[in-house]
Structure 1
Amino acid sequence: MNKILTLCLLFFVFQVHAQYLESGAPLPGVVVAHVPKSSGSYLGTPSVVILANGDYLASFDFFGPQCSSDKVHVYRSADKGKTWHFLTELADTFWGGLFVVDTDVYVLGVRGSDRNLSIRKSTDSGKSWSPHAILRAGRFHGSSTPVVFHNGKIYKGYDHLGIEDKSKAWMSENKSFIMWADENADLLKPDSWNYSEEIAKPKQIDGTGWLETNAVLGLDGAIRGITRIANESGYIAGHYAVDDKGAIVNGSVKAIPFLGGATKFNVMWDPKTKKYWSLTNYPSEIVRKPKMRAGGMRSVLALVSSPDLENWTVDKIVMASTDVKYHGFQYVDWQFDGKDIILMNRVGFSDEFGEADNAHNSNYIIFQRIRNYKKSKTTKELVRFVNK
C-alpha cells in the first residue's frame, strides 16, 4: 500500500487568504494527505461533511498506474480542521461522496471492481462501515456532488456511464439522472431508492457530453440536475428539471451560463444569503492558451454565486497560478459552516521532490476555510485573473 504522508500539525492560521501561488510556495490550509509523483498513485474525489457532534469527516480515493485496486481513506478532525487523523480504509470503493443523516454517515459511490452503484453506512462516526449494498448494477459515476434534503427526501445527482469506446468523444455516452429516497428509509435497501428518467446531453448543446451531476433545489421547489459539460469555453453547465415522479420536465433541458462548467463543481443553495454558491475552476483567459479546452484549466479556483442559477458573479478568486500544466486546485467538496465555508481541495502542486505529475494527477488533499464567505472579495493581487 502506498505510504501516505499525513500531516497532523496545528496551523495557527488555516483559513483561505486569496493567494497567487508559484512553484515552491507553501500551500494554504492544512495538508491532510500527500503522495509523491514517484509513487504512481494520485489522490482524488475529496469529500467532507460535518458530523452531528460538530466534528469534520473527510474521505478521498486513489487513482493512477500503480493503484492495483480502488480504495477510499477516511479521516476525522475534532478541532475544526486544524488537525486530521486517519480512521480507516474502505477497500474496493471509488468515487464516493459522504453525507449525514442524523448520527449516521453514508458514502455513496461505486464498487471499484465493477462500478456498480453502491452505498455503505457508518454508525460510529466513520470508524467502521457496513459492506457494500449494491443499489443498481451497471457502470455509474457520481463523485462527491451535493446531497439535497427537501420535504423529507434525500436527492443526489448521478451518471450512468456508457460503454467504454475510445473511438467516441469523451462523455458522449453518459446519461444523467436524479436518485432519491425518504430520509427515514433504510438507505441500504435498493427498494428504498427511486430514479428519474436518464438523459444524455442533447446534440444542440455545445460540448461532447456531461458528467458529475449536481442535484440542486430550484427556486420553485423542483429538483434540478446541473451538470459539468465537456466543452472548450467552460462558460456553460447542463440543466434539466425533474417532476415528483422523476420525469424530465418539458422544456427544462438546456445549457445555462456558468463560470467553470467544464470541470467538476458543487452548487448549493444558501437560505441565509438567498443565493446559490459554488467553488469552480474559473476559466480565466489570462491562463488560456490557443485552442485550450477549459477542462484542462484547473489552476484558478473561484468562489462564485448566483440568485437564480443563470446570472453568476465571481465573488472571490481563492487560489490562482498561471501554471496550468502542473498546478491544479480542483474537485472541491465543501459545506456551509456558520459564516464560513469549509472545503476539501484536490491539489496538484510542487513538493520537496519537484512538480506534480501534472495538474490533474493530484499529489495533495488539503483542508481550507473561507471565512465570512458572503463578504468575500478578490484581492488586488488576483484581480487580473477575473475576465473583463
Structure 2
Amino acid sequence: MKSVWIAAVVAWLVLVLPAGMSPAGESAPPALRVEGYGFEVTKLAEDARAYGNRGYVWKDVPEALRGWQFTRTNGGDLARMDAIAGADGVVHIATADKQKGIDLTGWEKVDGWEFYYTDGGKTRMQVYRRSAKAAQKLPIPQGNWTGGIVLAPRIVAAPMDRKADLSLVPGVVVHHSAAMSGLYIGSPGIAVLDDGAYLAKCDLFGPKSKEHDSAITLVFRSEDKGASWKQAARIDGLFWSNIFSHRGKAYQIGTQKHHGRLVILRSDDGGRTWTAPADADSGLLVDSGEYHTAPMPMLVHNGRLWRAMEDASGGKLWGLRYMPMVISAPLEADLLKRSSWTLSNALHGDVKWLDGQWGGWLEGNAVLTPEGHVVDILRVQTRAGGKAAIVRISDDGKSASFDPARDHIDFPGGAKKFTIRYDERTKRYWSLTNPVPPIFAKDTAGGTRNTLGLVSSADLRTWRVHCLLLHHPDRSKHGFQYPDWLFDGEDLIAAIRTGYDDGLGGAHNAHDANFLTFHRFKDFRKLTMAESCIDPAKLGMKP
C-alpha cells in the first residue's frame, strides 16, 4: 500500500465582466458573490502573496487585472467555492500553462493574458473565457494542490460552515476523515468478541499522519451488531494490523509504523485498552528489520495460529521489495512472548515472472488447502491484474516455497488486497475482491477499486464472481477496498476502506479513502449476479 500526495500545481482564477466589457472598462461590474469556505478575500497585485501557507507571490500580473480581488487559499487544503455572477457577462478562468488533466471544453483561450507565481517552476497561468448568465452558480473546481481561486474586480464573500454530508455513503459510517485533514483511512479490520460486541479498526496515513514515525490506529466498538459505533481506543505505534478474538481476548498484529518492526497487542477489556509492545515479553516480535502487512486473516490449524505477512527488506521499490513469509504460534501459548512464535523464511520474487509483467506480491492470506496444507495466497501486482500467487508452507511453519510456473493463478481482483476464509457449510472458500469490469480494462488494475464483488472457489485455484455488491461509476475518487470480513450466521459482515462523496469534496482519490464503513451482506450464500447492485452487462460482465 502506498500513499499518494499529488503536488500538482493547478490554479483557477475566475473573472466576471458584463458582456462586451474589457478589464480596462471604466465602469465596475457588479460584485461577484463567492459562497464556500477555506478562503479569504484579498487584493491581486504584483508581488502579492499567492497562497496563505506558502511564500509564493504573483508575477507579471497584467496591468488590467492589478487591483482586483481574489480568494486566497492554503495550497494543499481543500476549499469549496461557488461563484455567482451579478449580471450577464463573460466568465474568465486561468489555469496553469500546459497542465494536464484539465477539462477546458467550452472555454476560449484569451491570448496575451498570462502571469505566474514564484514556485520552483514559475508556474504560468493562461486565461480562458465563456459567457455566463446573471445569478448562475458556477462551482469552482477543487482537489488539486492549489485548489480553486476566484478573481474579480469586487468580491462579496459568503462563508459557509464546513459540514459533511454522509447521506449517500453506502453502509454504516464508522469513521470519517475529510481529505482536507491530510489523514486518510487505511487497514480496515473487524472482529466479533465473545460477548457479542463487534470491534472495527483502521489506521491513518497521508501527509499529515505519523505513519513513518509512530502510526495511529483507531478502534471502534458496536453493541448493536454494527448499527452504530463509538470510538473505544486510540493506539500510538500500530500500523497495518488485523484485529481478532482469541480465547476471550482481542488481539492485533501489525507493525509499529510504515515498514516498522512486527508487534502484537492484546486487549483484556473488549478493545478499550491495549498492551504496549516494549520488549520480547510484551509483544515486540522482532528486534529489528522492516516488515509489511495488512489486516490479513488468522488461520487455526493443527493446534496453531497462522498469520501471513511480508519481510520488506528486499530493496526499496514498492511491491518488489516484499518477501512473503508466515508466522505461527501454539494456540495455548502466551502470544505476547516472542519465543512463542515461529517465523518461516522469506521468499524473493522475480520480475521475469508472468512474461516480465510481474511487479511484486504482498498482503498474503494464510489458508488451509483442501488437502490439509497451509499456503499463503497473495495479491500480485500486474497492470492487467487478475492474478494471485500460492506460496506453500511446510507443516512445521519454517519453510516457504513457490513454483512460478504452477502457482500463479487467475483471481478476480487479484491486484488489490483481499481476505480469504473457508465456509464449512458450503465447503467453499469465499472472498470480497475488487474485480475490474471490462469497461475499465484500459485502466491500471491496482488503481481500479470502484467495484466490490463476492467471489468463491472450491479448490483455491478456480474462482468465480457470484455477485457485485457495491459499485460507483467513477474510479478516480471512489473505492470499496481492503475489505476485512467475517461470517455471521447467514450473513457476511465487513469493514471497508471507502472513498466516497462527503459534501466536502470527497476523497483525495480512491486510494486515499475518507471513510471506514461497516456492511452487512444478508444471505450471502444465496446471492447471484442477477441480484447485483448494478446490471453486470452495463459493465461488460456476464450476467
* Both proteins in one fold, TM over 0.5: yes
Change (3 A) 1:113 1:140: closer
2:453 corresponds to: 302
Provide the rounded CA distance (Å) in 1 between the counterparts of 2:400 and 2:257: 30
**5 Å matches for 1:81-120?**
81-112=226-257, 115-120=260-265
1:36 corresponds to: 178
Provide the rounded CA distance (Å) in 2 between the counterparts of 1:113 and 1:229: 20
Provide the rounded CA distance (Å) in 2 between the counterparts of 1:251 and 1:120: 35
Shift of 1:204: 2.2
- Residue aligned with 1:176, SS: strand
Provide the rounded CA distance (Å) in 2 between the counterparts of 1:362 and 1:243: 37
Shift of 1:25: 7.2
1:360 aligns with 2:511: yes
Structure 1, 156-165 or 143-152: larger mean CA deviation:
156-165
- Residue aligned with 1:374, SS: helix
1:282 corresponds to: 435
Per-residue Cα deviation, 1:163-217 (whole angstroms, up to 9, x for no partner): 663xx4x311210011100010010111100012211224324421111111011
Contact 2:493 2:521 in 1 (8 A): yes
Shift of 1:386: 5.8
Per-residue Cα deviation, 1:315-339 (whole angstroms, up to 9, x for no partner): 1101112211111110000001111
- Residue aligned with 2:535, SS: helix
Change (3 A) 1:62 1:216: same
Shift of 1:142: 1.4
> How many equivalent residue pairs?
361
Which of residues 201, 204, 209 is equivalent to 2:353? 204
Contact 1:200 1:210 in 2 (8 A): no
Which of residues 267, 271, 275 is equivalent to 2:420? 267
- Residue aligned with 1:83, SS: coil
Q: Note the residue ranges of structure 1 that are not aligned, 5 or more in a row.
A: 1-22
1:186 aligns with 2:338: no
Per-residue Cα deviation, 1:43-67 (whole angstroms, up to 9, x for no partner): 1100001101111111100001011
Provide the rounded CA distance (Å) in 2 between the counterparts of 1:113 and 1:350: 27
Change (3 A) 1:24 1:325: farther
Shift of 1:287: 2.3
Provide the rounded CA distance (Å) in 1 between the counterparts of 2:259 and 2:322: 17
Contact 2:431 2:456 in 1 (8 A): yes
Which of residues 468, 475, 489 is equivalent to 1:338? 489
Contact 2:325 2:400 in 1 (8 A): no
2:400 corresponds to: 248
Change (3 A) 1:113 1:280: closer
1:78 corresponds to: 223
Per-residue Cα deviation, 1:109-133 (whole angstroms, up to 9, x for no partner): 0112770000111111111111112
Q: Note the residue ranges of structure 2 that are not aligned, 5 or more in a row.
A: 1-164, 278-282
Contact 1:116 1:138 in 2 (8 A): yes
Which of residues 346, 364, 380 is equivalent to 1:229? 380
Change (3 A) 1:93 1:135: same
CA RMSD of aligned residues (A): 1.8
Per-residue Cα deviation, 1:8-59 (whole angstroms, up to 9, x for no partner): xxxxxxxxxxxxxxx9971221100001111111111000011011111111
Q: TM-score, normalised by structure 2?
A: 0.64
1:171 corresponds to: 319
Which of residues 294, 312, 326 is equivalent to 1:143? 294
Contact 1:200 1:209 in 2 (8 A): no
Shift of 1:162: 2.6
Contact 2:188 2:200 in 1 (8 A): yes
Which of residues 209, 212, 217 is equivalent to 1:67? 209
1:122 corresponds to: 267
- Residue aligned with 1:345, SS: strand
- Residue aligned with 2:180, SS: helix
1:17 corresponds to: none
Amino acid at match of 1:201: G
Q: TM-score, normalised by structure 1?
A: 0.89
Amino acid at match of 1:78: E
Contact 1:288 1:297 in 2 (8 A): no
Amino acid at match of 2:395: D
Q: Percent identity?
A: 35
1:58 corresponds to: 200
Amino acid at match of 1:298: R
Per-residue Cα deviation, 1:83-141 (whole angstroms, up to 9, x for no partner): 11111100011111111111111110011277000011111111111111210121111
Amino acid at match of 1:119: I
Amino acid at match of 1:105: A
Higher RCO by CA contacts (8 Å cutoff, separation 6 or greater): 1
- Residue aligned with 1:233, SS: coil
Change (3 A) 1:161 1:250: closer
Per-residue Cα deviation, 1:287-314 (whole angstroms, up to 9, x for no partner): 233xx22101000110100111111111
1:3 corresponds to: none
Provide the rounded CA distance (Å) in 2 between the counterparts of 1:265 and 1:197: 23
Provide the rounded CA distance (Å) in 1 between the counterparts of 2:517 and 2:475: 19
Structure 1, 136-145 or 58-67: larger mean CA deviation:
136-145
Contact 2:292 2:322 in 1 (8 A): no
- Residue aligned with 1:200, SS: coil
Contact 1:287 1:322 in 2 (8 A): no
Change (3 A) 1:325 1:272: same
Provide the rounded CA distance (Å) in 1 between the counterparts of 2:468 and 2:540: 8
Change (3 A) 1:80 1:142: same
Change (3 A) 1:250 1:299: closer
Change (3 A) 1:77 1:201: same
1:258 aligns with 2:400: no
